[in-house]
A = this chain, B = another copy of it.
Amino acid sequence: DSHHDQFLAELMRYLRQPSVAAQNLGMTEMAALAKEQLEARGFNVQILPTDGHPVVYGELGNGPRTLLIYDHYDVQPAEPLDLWESPPFEPTVRNGNLYARGVADNKGDQMCRMQAIEAWLATMGKLPLKIKWVIEGEEEIGSPNLEAFAHKYADLLKADGCLWETGGYNELDQFSLWLGLKGIAYFELRLKTMGIDAHSGNATMLPNPAWRLVWALSTLKDANNRITLDNYWEHVIPPAPDEVALLEKVPFDAEKIKSTYGAKAFINDMDAAAAKRAHYFEPTITICGFESGYTGAGTKTVLPKEAKVKLDFRLVPNLTPELVYDLLRKHLDRRGFSDIEIVRFSAERNARSRADSAVVQAAITAARKIYGADPVIYPLMPGSGPMYPLSDMLGIPAVLAGLSHNGSRAHAPNEHIRLKDYWLGQKFIGEFIRAFAEL
């Protein structure tokens, strides 16, 4: 219908504006466009500065309940461009899908939510609650300024629940809700024992940084994959019974996962139940990269001067990036590895909301109405994201409920959403607002 045509044109305009934070491409223009679109729905909008790209912040409505919405106006870089079937910033409809960089992650959510509110205002009148909307500009570069922003504006951001970006359909194409994310702390361990590489004949006497990293790493996790970092497990709390109960209803196709990655078996030959539980509730320490010395074809008899390893810690309650950094530094120092430098990269704390919170219950109610079935409720998504500063830190329960499906290719070429999900998503947002205001 003509509404859909107009809404789609608006969405395509929103997608046509590049906004790649990592490349500082179109960010000012995109923030202005987000502000304009919120204002077009009557929002009172401010561009709130941070140490990086600013936050676009809007408020609208009044009522006993306040809903915080989180989205981001930045997108992933579009490269490699040659793998796109249509240009990333020229939104294109093919076979009922809309292709564009950022349509799934997460400009589609934003415009869908704005248009749902517009429809509410046009048909129902005033909003039954207050909406506070944070659209940040640095999600795809790790939200380095979001925690400081949330601290600074903690009073402004007070709310009863938070609707998070992204989410949508699981791998069985069931509409799903996710109630949290794992935390992450990413480090690079660096060791340089010499100013220049030496001939390996000197390995009798000159220190080898690759060996030292191997020895240090081998004290962090044993060959049974058990993390052995000093004082680590005393900070880890097991999932709550209701989280475990939720997970039992979540689908998990162990054979499909193994065949997707071409893995013969899970770690320690875990069965599906153990792997599923580990996947959602266990913390990890992962070697994402290791580099030292000669890595080309054949041989080079070299004693390398330096070695580097990239380590990704995924965090569950109550591990935090600061804590694991501190534990790691002390663990290494205690074993004589003070020469190993730890460089800190991304750090995001874990976030978990409970299924009995109003915002989750409202999402369940709305999902039943719109999608005709109980949504699948995941206690968390096993990835990481900047949810903590706007949820657990401020005491606001949050839920991920979005438009993506399992093949949406967020972060990859040919990112897309299915248009039918977009129109259903608008109806979902309307029902969600109603339910959250009434519950």
Task: Please give the residue numbers on chain A whose beta carbons come within 8 Å of chain B beta carbons, in ascending order.
Answer: 182, 184, 186, 193-196, 198-208, 210-212, 214-215, 217-218, 221-223, 225, 257, 261-267, 270, 275, 278-280, 282, 284, 286-295, 298-305, 307-308, 310, 312, 314, 335-336, 345-346, 382-384
A312 to B314, CA, bound (A): 35
A194 touching B262, Cβ below 8 Å: yes
Chain B residues contacting A202 (CB-CB under 8 Å) are 257, 261, 279, 382
Q: List 15 A-B contacts (CB under 8 A).
A: A194-B261, A194-B263, A200-B314, A202-B261, A202-B279, A204-B267, A204-B284, A205-B278, A207-B267, A218-B218, A223-B335, A288-B301, A290-B292, A291-B295, A298-B345
Which of these, B211, B264, B295, B382, contacts A221 with CB under 8 Å? B211
A291 touching B291, Cβ below 8 Å: yes
Chain B residues contacting A204 (CB-CB under 8 Å) are 267, 275, 278-280, 282, 284, 314, 382
Given contacts A194-B263, A222-B215, A293-B288, contact A346 B207 (CB under 8 A): no
B383 touching A201, Cβ below 8 Å: yes
B206 touching A263, Cβ below 8 Å: yes
Chain B residues contacting A218 (CB-CB under 8 Å) are 214-215, 217-218
A261 touching B214, Cβ below 8 Å: no
Residue with the highest number of chain B CB atoms closer than 10 Å, among A195, A203, A205: A205
Query: 4 tightest CB-CB pairs across the interface, nearest first?
Result: A195-B262, A218-B218, A291-B295, A289-B293
A300 touching B289, Cβ below 8 Å: yes
Chain B residues contacting A335 (CB-CB under 8 Å) are 223
Q: Other CB < 8 Å A-B pairs besides A215-B223, A290-B291, A301-B312, 13 of them?
A: A193-B264, A198-B261, A200-B312, A203-B314, A205-B270, A206-B257, A207-B265, A214-B218, A287-B304, A288-B303, A289-B294, A290-B290, A299-B310
Residue of B nearest to A411 (CB): B199
Chain B residues contacting A217 (CB-CB under 8 Å) are 211, 214, 218
B289 touching A302, Cβ below 8 Å: yes
A182 to B200, CA, bound (A): 12
B263 touching A208, Cβ below 8 Å: no
Given contacts A186-B299, A201-B383, contact A208 B293 (CB under 8 A): no
